[in-house]
Amino acid sequence: MPTGVQKELYVLRRRPAYEKFVDSSFRTIAISMASMVALILVAILIVVFWGSLESMGRYGWKFLVTSNWNPVDDEYGVLTAIYGTAVTSLLSLLIAIPLGVGTAIFITESFIPTRAKNIIGLMIELLAAIPSVVLGLWAIFVMEPFLRPLLSFLYIYFGWIPFFSTQPMGPGMTPAILILVVMILPIITAISRDSLNQVPISLRQAAYGVGATRWSTIINVILPAAISGIAGGVLLALGRAMGETMAVTMIIGNSNNFSWSLLGPGNTIAAMLANQFGEADGTQVSSLYYAAFILMVITLAVNIVSQWLVKRLSLKY
Amino acid sequence: MTGEATSISGDPPSNLYYKPGLRRNRTNRIFTLLSGLFSFVAILPLILVLTYVIFKGATRLSISLFTMLPPPPGLDGGGIGNAILGTIIVTCIAGMIAIPVGVGGGIYLAEYAREGAFSRFIRFGTNVLSGVPSIITGVFVYDIIVSSRIILGSSYSAIAGGVALSILMLPTVIKTTDEGLKLVPDNLRKGALGVGASKFVTITHITLPMAFTPIATGVVLSVARAAGETAPLIFTALFSYYWPSGSDAFFNPIATLSVLIYNFSTQPYQVQNELAWAASFILVVFILAMNILSRWIGHLTSK
Amino acid sequence: MTATSSPRPSQISTDPCISLQNVTISYNEFEAVRHVYCEIPRGKITALIGPSGCGKSTILRSLNRMNDLIEGCSLTGRVMFDGDDLYSPNIDPVEVRRRIGMVFQQPNPFPKSIYENIAFGARINGYKGDMNELVERSLRQAAVWDECKDKLKESGCSLSGGQQQRLCIARTIAIEPEVILMDEPCSALDPISTLKIEETMHELKNRFTIVIVTHNMQQAVRVSDFTAFFNAEAQEGGSGKVGYLVEFNETEKIFHSPAQEATQNYISGRFG
Ligand SMILES: Nc1ncnc2c1ncn2[C@@H]1O[C@H](COP(=O)(O)OP(=O)(O)OP(=O)(O)O)[C@@H](O)[C@H]1O
Ligand SMILES: [Mg+2]
C-alpha cells in the first residue's frame, strides 16, 4: 500500500490492533487478579456468616455465655472455647511480650557483636518457619511429659486457686499456652526489632549526652519512641495466637466441659473447628460456623487495629 | 575559678572511675543479664525442637520411608511415600493458583493502580486476608468446594486442598510482588515507554525481570510456609492411605505430610508415632532448605 | 607540611582542662583524624574550625566518649581530663558524660514535653532542688524562655528548629557539667538567636569550659578565646582524607598572625 522506504522499515509504526488488545487485556487481567483478594475476603465473611444463621437464630447472644456443648441434646454454647481462646492467647502474650521485646532490645542495642546479633535474629526467623504441626508433635511427646511434674506441683500446693484446681493428666491449657508463646515470639521479636531500629540515632545521642546510662536510655527514650510499632506487633501476635490451630488442637485436650483450671484440658474456637467440623451435622455445623464467625470478627478487629498502629509508626519517622 | 565547677547537688565532683556498686550500674547489669537471658530462652525452643526432630526423625530414615505406604495400625515397617508425593502435589496446585494470581495482583498494585480508594482497599484487604486464621480458610473451602461438590462431583480432593493453601499464599505473593516492583527505578519504565514500548512489553520485558529477585524470594518463602500448613487441609484434602494415581490423584482425598503428622501423632501406636517424627524431619528439612534458598537468591543478586 | 610533622603541643595554657595527647581516631580501617595534640584551657571558650570533613565533630565527640555509640570507631592516644585518661578501661563513660555535656549539630529534643526535656537529665543526675526553678533558669539562660514559658507541657518536637536547638542547650546547661561541647550549635538559628546564644556562652564561660565547633569565622572571633584550626589532607596510599590539627593558639593570634600558611588561606577565604 504505502510507498517510501521509511514506512517499509517501520512496519509497526502504527500500533496493530492485536498489540492494543494484548495491552488492554493484560490490564484487565491484572485488575481482576487484584480484585480476587477482595472477592475472597468478602466471600469468606459471607460463607461463614451464612452458615451461622441457623445457630444465631436459635441461640442468639446466649450462645456466647453458655458452656454446654452437647451434640446429643443438640444444645450448643461456646463459652468454654471463648474462655480457652481468651486465656491461652492473653497469657501466652503476657509471657511472649517481655521475652520478645527483651530479645529485640538485646539484638538491636550494641550488647554483642553484629555477627552474634545476626545469628540470633536468623534463629528467631527460622523458629517462625517451623510448621505448627511439628511444634504440636514436639509438645505432645517432649514438652508435656517434661512439664507434668512441675504442673502437678502447682496442683498439689496451689490447688485451692481455681486456676490450678485440677490434676494435670496430659494435654491441657498450660502446654497450649507455652507452645503459643513459641509461635508468637518470632512475630513480636521481629516487629519490635524493626521498630527499635527505626528510632533515630540522634535520640540515643541526646540521652547519652545528658549522662543517661544505657538502660535508662532504652527505657525512658528508645522504648517510648518505638512503642506504637511494638504495640502493633503485639496485636498482630494476639491475632495469630487466637487463630492458631494445629499445635493448640494437638496439646489442649479438646474438652467441651467448662473449667477454670489451666492445668486441665480445655478448648479454643480454632481447635474446636479442627476437631469437629469434619464430622458434625445439623445444628452443630451451624454452631461451628457461628463460632468461626466470632473468631473471624475478633481477629479482623485485632488485625485492623494492629495495622493502623504499625502504619502510625512508619509515618512518624 | 576552679572551685566553681561544682556539680549540681553541691557534692564535690566525684572521680570518673566505674563504680560497680552504684545503684544505676547494678540496675544496668541486671537488665543486661535479663535481656541476654530472654534471648537465650527465645532461641531455646528452636534448638530443642530441631534436636528432637533430627534425633527422632533421622533415625527412622531409610529408602522404604520414601517408597512405601503407611502400615495399617498394629503392623511394623512401611513408609510415608504417599504423603511426600501428596505434599508435593498439593503444594504445586496451590502454587499454580497463587503465583499467577498473586503476581498479577501485585503488578496491578505497583504498575497500574493510582493512589486511590480501590488500591488502598486492595492493599488493606491483602493485609487482612493474611490475618484470617488458616482454619477458617479451611472451613471456607470446605463450604464452597467440598460440600458443594463443585469440581466434577468430587468432595474431598487434592484440588480443594490446593485451593485452600493458595488462599494462604496469595497475600504474601501479592505483597512481595508489589514491593519488589516498587523498587525498580522509575527511569527504566519511562525509558521503555519513551521508545514506544507498550505497557505490556515494558512490564514483561523490563520491570518484572528487574524485580525477579525479591519476588522469587517471597514466592519461595510462601511455598515453604504452605508446605507446612495443616489446618486448611484437614477437611479439604483429608487423608489417604493409598498412592495418588493418575488423574484421579487430583479429585480424591490425598495424604500430605502435615496431616499425616497430625493424624499419626495422636494414634496410640509407636510405629505411627515414629512415622510422624520422620515426616516432621522431612518437612522441616524441606522448609529450612527453602528458607536458605530464598536467602541465597537474595544474596546472589545483592552483589 | 604533612600531618605527621604537625605542630608541637601548644604551651599557651597553664591550666589545661582537657588535654589530647597524640589522639588518632578511626572509623573501622579509615583514619578520620590523626596525631592531635591539644590542651583545652579551663574556663575559656575554645573554637574548632576547619573545612568540612576534617574531623571536628569526631574530635569533639571523643571528648565525652560519644564515639562509643558509633560501631567501629576506635581511638588511640590519650585524652586527659581531671587527671584521668578518659579512655582507660576503668573509666565509666556515663560519669564522663555527666561532667562533660554536649549539644549536637542537629537539634535532638526528646519526644517528651519541654519541661520533661530539661527535667529528665537533671533527674537522672540526681538533682534535688526546685525543678520548676531549674527549668525556668535553664530556659532563660538558653534564651528560649519567652517562647516556651506558656507551653511547657507541649512536646519539645513542636518547637521550631532554632527553638529546639536552644532547648537542647538549656537541657545541657541544666545538668551543670564542667565542660560543654557544642557542635555547630547555631547552624540552625537566625542571627538574633545566634547572638543570644553567644551572649549566653559569654555568661557561661565564667563557670564552664566550652568547646565549640563552628563554620562561622566571625562567630569564632566573637566568642572564643582560643582557636584550633583543623585541615584534611589526602594520604598517599590511604583512602579519603585524613584530618589533622594545623594550628592551635589564642584566637587573636590565629586570626591576625597565623603561623601556618594553610590557616592564613582558610581564614581569608582563599581555601582550596
Ligand atoms: N559514623 C561514621 N562512620 C564512618 N565514618 C565517619 C562517621 N562519621 C564521620 N566519619 C568520617 O570521618 C571524617 C570526619 O568527619 P566529621 O563528621 O568529624 O567531620 P566534620 O569536620 O565535623 O565535618 P562538618 O564540618 O561537615 O560537620 C569524614 O571523612 C567522615 O566521612
Ligand atoms: Mg560536624
- Find which of A137, A191, A277 to mutate to test the B interface (most B CBs within 10 Å of its CB): A137
Residues with CB under 5 A from ligand 2 (ion): C 57
A22: nearest CA partner in chain B? B200
Centre of ligand 1 from the C-alpha of residue C58, in Å:
6
Determine the distance in angstroms separating the CA of B19 from the nearest CA of chain C, rounded to an integer.
8
Closest residue to atom 16 of ligand 1, CA basis: C55
DSSP helix/strand/coil, B288: helix
pLDDT above 50 (res A5)? no
What is residue C8's DSSP assignment? P
Of B200, B190, B212, B191, give the one whose Cα is nearest residue B297: B212
Contact B259, A97 (CB under 8 A): no
Q: Does A108 touch chain B (CB under 8 A)?
A: no
Answer whether B5 touches C (CB < 8 Å): yes
The values of phi and psi at residue C35, to 5°, are 50, 55
The Cα B175–Cα A178 span in angstroms is: 31
Residue A26 included in any domain: no
Compute the Cα dihedral for A254, A257, A258, A259 and give only its sign: negative
Preferred mutation among C65, C94, C120, C225 to probe B, highest tally of B CBs within 10 A: C94
Question: Of A93, A82, A137, whose CA–CA distance to A270 is shortest?
Answer: A82
Residue A18 inside a domain? The answer is no
Please tell me if the CB atom of residue C56 comes closer than 6 angstroms to any atom of ligand 1.
Answer: yes
Q: pLDDT, tens digit, for every residue of C129-182?
A: 899 999 999 998 888 888 888 989 988 888 888 888 889 999 998 988 999 999
- Which CATH number covers residue C189? 3.40.50.300
Task: Please write the tens of the pLDDT for every residue from A96-127.
Answer: 999 999 999 999 988 888 889 999 999 998 99
Residue C151 lies in a domain: no
Q: Do C91 and B18 touch (CB under 8 A)?
A: yes
Range(s) of the domain holding residue C72: 16-109+178-267
Residues 123-152 of A with CB under 8 A from B: 123-127, 129-138, 140-142
Instruction: Name which residue leads in pLDDT, B245 or A54.
Output: A54
Contact (CB, 8 A) for B24 and A216:
yes
Chain B CB within 8 Å of residue C118 CB: no
Query: Does the pLDDT value for residue A196 go beyond 80?
Result: yes
Distance CA C114, CA C139 (A): 10
Q: Do A126 and B28 touch (CB under 8 A)?
A: no
What integer pLDDT is reported at residue A317 of this predicted model? 46
Of A114, A204, A211, the CB nearest to C97: A211
Specify the pLDDT at position A11.
61
Residues of chain B with pLDDT below 70 are: 1-14, 153, 301-303
Structural domain includes residue A305: yes
Tens of pLDDT, residues A167-190: 888 899 999 999 999 999 999 999
Ligand 1: nearest atom to the Cα of C61: 18
The CA–CA distances, whole Å, from B93 to B89, B158, B237 equal 6, 8, 12
- Three-state DSSP state, A52: helix
CA C72 to chain centre: 22
- The pLDDT assigned to B10 comes to 43
Distances (CA, A) of A66 to A49, A62, C194: 20, 6, 72
Closest CA to C38 of C71, C65, C78: C78
Say which DSSP state C228 is in: E
Count CB-CB contacts under 10 A for residue A201. 10
Predicted confidence band of residue A281 (pLDDT cuts 50, 70, 90):
confident
C234 domain residue, yes or no: yes
Q: How many CB pairs (< 8 A) connect A and C?
A: 67
Say how far apart CA A268 and CA C29 lie, in whole Å: 57
The H-or-E segment that residue C33 falls in is: strand C30-41
CA distance B93 to B284: 20
Query: Measured between beta carbons, which residues in chain A are less than 8 angstroms from residue C158?
Result: none
What are chain A's partners, defined as 3 or more CB pairs within 8 angstroms? B, C
Binary contact (C127, B1; C-beta < 8 A): no
Contact state of B126 with A37 under an 8 Å Cβ cutoff: yes
Q: How many domains does chain C have?
A: 1
Closest partner CB to B231 (pick from A40, A41, A245) = A245
Q: Pick the residue from chain B with its C-alpha nearest to A24.
A: B200
Chain C CB within 8 Å of residue B23 CB: no
Cα(B22)–Cα(A32) distance, integer angstroms: 66
At residue A12 the predicted structure's pLDDT band, cuts being 50, 70 and 90, is: low
Instruction: Give B303 to chain C, closest Cα distance, Å.
Output: 22
Residues A257/A272, Cβ–Cβ less than 8 Å: no
- Partner-chain residue, chosen from B53, B109, B135, that has the shortest CB–CB distance to A274: B135
Domain that holds residue A131: 58-312
Quick one: closest CA in B to C124, which residue?
B24
Return the C-alpha cell found at A53: 444463621
- Cβ proximity of C230 and C246 under 8 Å: yes
Q: Residue C52: nearest ligand to its CA?
A: 1
Alpha helix ranges (H) inside chain A:
5-9, 17-59, 62-65, 79-108, 114-129, 132-138, 144-158, 173-198, 201-209, 214-217, 223-243, 246-252, 269-276, 283-316
| Phi/psi-derived region of residue B232, left when phi > 0, alpha when psi is between -120 and 50, beta in every other case | alpha
- Alpha helix (H) residue ranges in chain B: 23-52, 58, 63-67, 81-107, 117-131, 134-141, 158-183, 186-194, 199-201, 208-210, 212-228, 248-251, 257-265, 270-302
Q: Which parts of chain C have pLDDT scores under 70?
A: 1-14, 236-239, 270-272
CA of B133 to the centre of ligand 1 (A): 50
Number of domains in chain A: 1
Alpha-carbon span A19 to A8, nearest angstrom:
19
Q: Ligand 1: does its nearest atom lie under 6 Å from the Cβ of C32?
A: yes
Question: Do the domain assignments include residue A258?
Answer: yes
- Show Cβ contacts of residue B90 under 8 Å, excluding neighbours closer than 6 positions: B158, B161, B162, B165, B233, B237, B254, B256
Cell numbers 493458595 correspond to: B166
Joined grid coordinates for residue A134: 511439628
Q: Is the CB of C57 under 6 A from ligand 1?
A: yes
CB contact under 8 A, C81 and B24: no
Q: Is the pLDDT of residue A273 over 80?
A: yes
State the cell numbers at C38: 591539644
CATH for A146:
1.10.3720.10
Assess C82–B contact: CB distance below 8 Å, yes or no. Answer: yes
Query: pLDDT per residue over A120-162, tens digit each?
Result: 999 998 999 999 999 999 999 999 999 998 988 888 888 788 8
Q: Is residue C133 part of a domain?
A: no
Residue among C58, C211, C239, C241 whose CB has most ligand 1 atoms within 8 A, to mutate:
C58
Any atom of ligand 1 within 6 Å of the Cβ of C52: yes
B13 and chain C in contact, CB less than 8 A = yes
Mean pLDDT of A210-217: 91
Q: Residue B190's pLDDT is what?
A: 83
Domains of chain B (ranges plus CATH)?
Answer: 63-302 (1.10.3720.10)
Which atom from ligand 1 is nearest to the alpha carbon of C58?
18
Q: Give the other-Cβ count within 10 Å of B7's Cβ.
A: 18
Question: Which chain C residue has the Cα nearest residue A200?
Answer: C108
Query: Which ligand sits closest to the CA of A201?
Result: 1
Closest-approaching ligand to the CA atom of C235: 1
From chain C residues 27-86, the ones with a CB under 8 A of any chain A CB are 64, 66, 69, 71
CB contact under 8 Å between C66 and A205, yes or no, is yes
Q: Whose CA is nearest to atom 5 of ligand 1?
A: C27
Atom number of ligand 1 nearest to Cα C60: 18
pLDDT of B93 reads 94
β-bridge mates for residue B257, sequence order:
none
The pLDDT of residue C237:
62
